[in-house]
Amino acid sequence: MSSNAEVPRPRVEQNFDVNTTPVSNPRELESVYANNAAVMQMPHDFRIVFSEVVSDGPANEPHVELRASIAMSPTMLKGLHQAIGATLSNFETQQGEIKWPPQQPKIG
């Protein structure tokens, strides 16, 4: 056997439909609302930090409250990017273009 011989690798297939596969929630995770997100690049992964900018309290000063932080591999982020792009495109086809950046309401 030559040292340059290719070692056969098992082929990994997804034999399920992610749209119909049952979903469980054993940790009882809750849905959260976010109106702000930041994406950070690390040497081996990416992190998306979701937060909410809120104005409450007596001074009504805006502040940021962390809602979730999710780390994922570059491959997973690429797949998420494609899925979000396709979903957004479908939404805009049905509902019309989303204006970006959003217009800030005028106060006063």
Determine the average pLDDT of the residues in 98-105.
Answer: 82
Provide DSSP, 55-93.
Answer: E-STT--EEEEEEEEEEE-HHHHHHHHHHHHHHHHHHHH
What average pLDDT does the structure give for the chain? 85
Cis peptide before 10 (omega within 30 of 0): no
Q: Which residues contact 10 (CB under 8 A, 6 or more apart)?
A: none
Token pair recorded at residue 47: 């992190």
Cα separation of 19 and 5, whole Å? 40
Give the pLDDT band (50/70/90) at residue 1: very low
Token pair recorded at residue 21: 């596969």
Could you give the percent of the chain with pLDDT greater than 90?
Answer: 54
Determine the average pLDDT of the residues in 55-82.
Answer: 90
> How far is residue 107 CA from its own chain's centroid?
32
- pLDDT confidence of residue 21: 83
In this model, does residue 67 exceed pLDDT 60? yes
Q: Mind listing the pLDDT tens digit for each residue in 25-45?
A: 888 888 999 999 999 999 999
Provide DSSP, 6-18.
Answer: PPP-PPP---S-T
